[in-house]
Amino acid sequence: MKLTQRLVLGAVAVVGFLVVTIVVVVNRQLSERLRDETTKNLAREARFVATEWTPTTNPSVLAHTAGVALGRRVTLIREDGVVLGDTDFEEDALARLENHLTRPEVASAVSGAVGLAVRPSASRGDVELYVAVRASLGVARVSVPTGTLDAIVAAAGRDAASAGAVALLGALVLAWLFSRSVSQPVVELRDVARALAAGDLTRRPKIHAPGEVGDLAVALDQLAEQLSARLAALQADESLLLQLTESLNEGVLAVDTSAMVVRINETARRLLNTRDALPFHSDVLPRATVLRDALASATAGDTTDDAELVIGGRTLNVTARPLAGGGAVLALLDLTRVRRLEAVRRDFVANVSHELRTPLTIVGGFAETLVQDDPPADSRRQFADRILGNTRRMQRIVDDLLDLSRIESGGWVPNPMTLDLLSVASDTISAARDAADAKGLTLSVDIHPESAVLFADATALRQVIGNLVDNAVRHTATGAVVIFSRPRSEDGGVTVGVRDTGVGIPAEHLPRIFERFYRVDPGRSRAEGGTGLGLAIVKHLVEAHGGKVKAESVPGAGTTIMANFPASSPSRG
């Protein structure tokens, strides 16, 4: 129920109660006072009749005359109770009336008091008010029907009720006007408070009223200003916190006391492979034992530092801290690259040590023989050739490692220019001619007219093609080695590659042939003089131009290695 209705109904109830109370009280008081006044009047009238009753007066005639004059019923009674005159009875009928000495009012009058009684009339049948006084010749009694008095009281009650109804109607109108004046500002303040609670902090009360309502409007306006200021501060803090957490390379997530994830940054989503909308239950997180144990320990109030686990092929470092109000916060650091680099470093050291151990052993052995023994001249020449060959092999390994290190570290930046691909391919074939002729291989060039010109670093392109041709010649026993080029319509670049008819590479080895020191057949590669770094150098040189390398092979049918160069070199800065 609205405030206006409550105020109106309250006012109506109060006024209605007052009207009913007044009508009841007025009726009661009026009835009592009217009876008292009527009793007094009847007593005076009875005394008047008593003074007119003389021995010479006919009682019956006096009763009729006085009754007509007073408008009352007048009865004259002898002291022994015999009725001598009555307004309602003729003289010949008086003898049939009962003796009135037993009437209470008559008995009281005979004793000298004013007799009073209210009872039904034996002759009239209605209820009458009797008043009797002592006269010199007997008792004079005057009566009036109580119905007359009741009619007066009822009329007065109706008048009071009518006045009360008018007052109630006026009170209703006044209460409605008053309630409107009170409820309208309250309703406006209520609407403003609801808007503020719903988040609309732009709403302000527009009323300017005196008293408590005005004070409430001012307080509500101040409250809205404070809420706006605090919300702005909270939003600024939230935005700053969000930017800070999102800028971290670490994954961060917070869990509340109900095991619900209430905050998570993008790095943590990526590391844990989750896209659920916040908040979501921690059961959605990967079911890794280390992660679950760290979360449970932090929720219980314990700290977990530097715990490692593997999720989705990534090595993660987990740190868990309990929150002061309950819950926990987890930090996830991706160690995958670090562990991979450590593995690469270990493999690199092992591979370099392995690659250099054999030639160093050979050089040391032959050198020791030459120093301690005195072999024949032809043996000394063979020993010197072996020492020279292995020394040159170690020199090639060191040179390739230096080149690879310079490319990977950014110490070398390509200087691209427009190159004639046919000229570069011809120079490469000339350099590899002797090795190819020794194995009976055919070297050829297949340059597409639309890809005869390439935008690349001259030295790098010669090294790329040279390494690919050298690699193909070493791994091809019979057949041919072809340098080819093709235009790429999708991006306007050029594909340069070398195709051979060698032993081929099994499919499981193809993804790794561009790794340093990786060999499909280690013994055979070393025997043919390869360093195991040629394809790795090719890969890094092509990627430095913004391109990609790709290998295709069918075991027993040959291998094709392609370098995709973009239409123009990447910008350098």
Work out the pLDDT band at 571, boundaries 50, 70, 90. Answer: very low
Percent of the chain surpassing pLDDT 90: 21
* Domain ranges (residues) in the chain: 3-151, 199-247, 248-334, 339-407, 413-565
Q: At what angle do helices 377-408 and 336-372 cross, to 10 degrees?
A: 160
Contacts of 564 (CB under 8 A, 6+ apart): 488, 493, 494, 495, 542, 547, 548, 549, 550
H or E element that contains 500: strand 494-500
For residues 44 and 66, the answer to whether their CB atoms sit within 8 Å is: no
255-278 residue pLDDT tens:
998 889 998 898 888 888 888 888
pLDDT at 572 over 90: no
Q: Which residue did the predictor score with more confidence, 83 or 519?
A: 83
For residues 180 and 6, the answer to whether their CB atoms sit within 8 Å is: no
Query: 562: helix, coil or strand?
Result: strand
Distance CA 13, CA 1 (A): 16
The CATH number for 3-151, chosen from 3.40.630.10, 3.30.30.10, 3.30.450.20, 3.90.1150.10, is 3.30.450.20
pLDDT at 65 over 80: yes
Over residues 502-518, the mean pLDDT reads 84
Q: Provide DSSP, 95-158.
A: GGSPP-TTSHHHHHHHTTS-EEEEEE-TTT-SEEEEEEEEETTEEEEEEEEHHHHHHHHHHHHH
Q: Check if 3-151 and 248-334 are the same fold.
A: yes
Distance CA 395, CA 389 (A): 10
The pLDDT value given to residue 473: 92
> Is-above-0.75 flag for pTM?
no
Work out the pLDDT band at 5, boundaries 50, 70, 90. Answer: confident
Burial class (CB in 10 A: 0-12, 13-18, 19+), 203: middle
The pLDDT value given to residue 405: 74
pLDDT at 294 over 80: yes
pLDDT at 221 over 60: yes
Distance CA 178, CA 184 (A): 10
Query: 480: helix, coil or strand?
Result: strand
pLDDT at 530 over 60: no
CA R_g for the chain: 63
CA angle at residue 509 from 508 to 512, to 5 degrees?
125
pLDDT at 456 over 70: yes
Distance CA 116, CA 133 (A): 9
99-117 residue pLDDT tens:
888 889 889 998 889 999 9
Distance between start and end Cα atoms, the chain: 75
- Cis ω for the linkage preceding 279 (within 30 of 0): yes
For residue 257, what are its two tokens? 């006391």
Give the class (CATH, top level) of 339-407. mainly alpha
pLDDT at 374 over 80: no
Contacts of 153 (CB under 8 A, 6+ apart): 27, 30, 31, 34
309-327 residue pLDDT tens:
888 888 899 999 998 888 9
Backbone angles phi, psi at 440, to 5 degrees: 75, 30
The pLDDT value given to residue 186: 74
The pLDDT value given to residue 208: 67
CA angle at residue 101 from 54 to 136, to 5 degrees?
20
Give 445's DSSP letter. E
CA angle at residue 287 from 282 to 288, to 5 degrees?
115
**Strand order through the sheet with 127-135:** 83-86, 73-77, 138-145, 127-135, 115-120
Q: Provide DSSP, 53-113.
A: --TTS-HHHHHHHHHHHHTSEEEEE-TTS-EEEETTB-GGGGGGSPP-TTSHHHHHHHTTS
472-484 residue pLDDT tens:
998 898 999 999 9
Q: 413-565 belongs to which homologous superfamily?
A: Histidine kinase-like ATPase, C-terminal domain (3.30.565.10)
Using CA atoms, how far residue 414 sits from 460, 514, 570, 572, 573, in Å, is 7, 20, 9, 9, 12
339-356 residue pLDDT tens:
777 776 776 666 666 667
Distance CA 377, CA 403 (A): 38
Second CATH level (architecture) for the domain 248-334: 2-Layer Sandwich (3.30)
- Closest alpha carbon to 305 in 319, 315, 325, 316: 319
- Closest alpha carbon to 35 in 161, 147, 155: 147
The pLDDT value given to residue 347: 66
- Go through the chain and tell me how many residues it has: 573
Contacts of 328 (CB under 8 A, 6+ apart): 254, 255, 295, 298, 299, 320, 321, 322
Contacts of 256 (CB under 8 A, 6+ apart): 262, 279, 326, 327
Over residues 477-493, the mean pLDDT reads 88
75-105 residue pLDDT tens:
999 988 899 999 988 888 888 888 888 889 8
Distance CA 324, CA 298 (A): 11
129-181 residue pLDDT tens:
899 999 988 999 999 888 877 788 788 778 878 887 888 788 778 877 777 77
